[in-house]
Structure 1
Amino acid sequence: MSIKFLAEDDRPREKFLLKGRNSLSDSELLAIIMGSGSRDETAVELARKILASVDNNWHQLSLLTIKDLTKFKGVGEVKAISIATALEIGRRRASQEIPEKSQISSSNNAYQILKLHLADLRTEEFWAIFLNQSNKVIHISQLTQGGINQSIVDIRILFKNALDHFATGIIVAHNHPSGNLKPSSEDIHITKKIKEAGVLMNIQLLDHLIITQNSYLSFADENLL
C-alpha cells in the first residue's frame, strides 16, 4: 500500500520528515524508537498502550526494566533495549550543561580559532566561521583547498552553509604559506564579492583574515572591507 493511503498515525517517520519532530506526539516518538508494532497493533497503538501504563510519563517509563517492557505483546528484548537506550540518552542529555559558544569580539578572537587550522599549512585553504546575532560561533568549516598559492571559494557554497546554520554573520579566512600578509588583488576582489552577496542575503561579512604561520592581517582592522 502506498504511504499516502496509510493513516497518519501509522507513519510517524514520514510525519517527522514532513512536519518536524515537534509535531509528533509522545506515542509517535516511542513508535519510531520501537520501529514496528505487533501482529495485532501498529507501532503507534502499541506505544500508546505502553505509555498509558505509566500515566504517559517518560520518567515513569524509564523506571521499567527490560523484563517489564517485554511483558507487552509485540515488545521483544531488542525493542525493550531500544526504548531503554533512548531514555538513557535523554537522561544523560538532561544532566549535561549546554556548552558555551565562543564569542567573537575582535579579529584576534577569530585568529586564535582559525590559526589552529591554517597557520602551518603548505597549501592555501579557505575557511569560514559562522556566527549568530550575538557574534557567537555556530559553526566552523573548510570551504576549499587550493594549490601552492591560491584557494578560490565558491560564494554560493559559502552562503549555503550560512543559511544551513541560520548564521547572521560570517568571518572568512585563508592562509598565505609564503608568509606574506599583503592581500592580493584576488583577495580584495573575492572579499568585495562576499560582502556584496551578504548584503543581498542579510548576512554580514564581519572580517576576512589572511593567516600566516606567525601572524595575521584583518581586512576589518585595516579598513579594507
Structure 2
Amino acid sequence: MKPYTEKLGIKLWAEADRPREKLLLNGRRHLTDAELIAILIGSGNKNETAVDLSKRVLLFYNNDLDALGKASVKDLSKFKGIGGAKAISIVAALELGRRRKETEGRDVVKVFSSKDAFEALIPVFADLNHEEFWILILNQANYIIGKQLISKGGMAGTVADPKVIFKTALEHNATSIILAHNHPSGNLKPSAQDLSITKKMVEAGKMLDLPVLDHLIVTNKLFFSFGDEGLI
C-alpha cells in the first residue's frame, strides 16, 4: 500500500486553519501574509494548497511585500498554479495598499525642506520599476497644490520636456515648482542629462518668474536634492 502523501485541500482543514474562516473568527491581523494572499487567489494546484502556493511565491521574493509589490502580472503568472486572473488579483490588492499609503497624507502640506518634498512624492514613486518624471506644484506660501506626472520611460530614463513642464505648472496657477524623477536602479548620483535638464529648467523658470526650487532624484527609501547640494 502506497504511503498517503496527498495534501489536504483547504476545505478539509480544521475550520480555524482555513484563511477565510480564520479571518472571520479572529480578524485580519491574525493571518499571515501567505494566508492573506491565499484568500486572494482562492485555490492552489493539484500538489499545493493555496497557502502553500502563496508561501512559495513569497519565498521567491524573500518574504518582502515591497518586492512582491513590484511584480507584474506577467511575473506572477510564471508560477505554476497562478494564472492571469490570480495574478491580477494579487497585483490589484497590492496596488490598493500602495494607494492607501498615498491617501494618508492628503492634508495640505507646506514644503519647508527637501525632506518635505520627498515625503510628498514617495507614494507616487513607490514600487516603480521604470522611470517617471513628476512635478510638485506650489502656491505663494509653498503649500503643495498639486502633483503632476510629466513623462514615463523605461529602466534607463525618461524625457522631461520643459515646454510641457511649464505649461502644466502655469495651467495649475503655480507660483513655484519642484522637479522629481526616480532611479529604479537605486543609484542616487545625477547623470549628465539630469544636470543639464536641471540647469535648463532653472534658467527657464527665472525667465517666466516661476522658480524651480529643487530637483529630487528618488529611490524607494532615499533621495538626492540638487538644492541641498548647491546645484540650483
Please show how residues 166-177 of structure 1 align to structure 2 within 5 Å. 166-177=173-184
Partner of 1:159: 166
Counterpart pick for 2:146 among 139, 163, 170 = 139
The unaligned stretches of length 5 or more in structure 2 are: 1-105
Shift in Å, 1:118: 1.0
Counterpart pick for 1:108 among 89, 95, 115 = 115
For 1:126, what is the secondary structure of its paired residue? Answer: strand
Aligned-residue sequence identity (percent) comes to: 46
1:148 corresponds to 2:116: no
The unaligned stretches of length 5 or more in structure 1 are: 1-98
Give TM-score scaled by structure 2 length. 0.53
Amino acid at match of 1:139: G
- RMSD (Å), alpha carbons: 1.2
Residues in 2 aligned to 1:119 and 1:197: alpha-carbon distance in whole angstroms: 29
CA offsets 1:68-127 (integer angstroms, 9 cap, x no match): xxxxxxxxxxxxxxxxxxxxxxxxxxxxxxx96211001000100111111321100000
Partner of 1:209: 216
CA offsets 1:164-189 (integer angstroms, 9 cap, x no match): 11111000100001100000000000
Residues in 2 aligned to 1:101 and 1:160: alpha-carbon distance in whole angstroms: 23
Partner of 2:130: 123
Give TM-score scaled by structure 1 length. 0.55
Residues in 2 aligned to 1:154 and 1:133: alpha-carbon distance in whole angstroms: 24
Shift in Å, 1:142: 0.6
Residues in 1 aligned to 2:148 and 2:200: alpha-carbon distance in whole angstroms: 19
Residues in 1 aligned to 2:108 and 2:220: alpha-carbon distance in whole angstroms: 26
- Report if aligned partners of 1:111, 1:216 keep a CA contact under 8 Å in 2: yes
Larger radius of gyration: 1
- Report if aligned partners of 1:119, 1:211 keep a CA contact under 8 Å in 2: no
Please show how residues 47-66 of structure 1 align to structure 2 within 5 Å. none
Amino acid at match of 1:148: M
Residues in 2 aligned to 1:189 and 1:144: alpha-carbon distance in whole angstroms: 17
Number of aligned residues: 127
1:200 corresponds to 2:188: no
- Report if aligned partners of 1:119, 1:175 keep a CA contact under 8 Å in 2: no
- Report if aligned partners of 1:210, 1:216 keep a CA contact under 8 Å in 2: yes
Residues in 1 aligned to 2:228 and 2:156: alpha-carbon distance in whole angstroms: 24
Moved over 3 A (4+): none
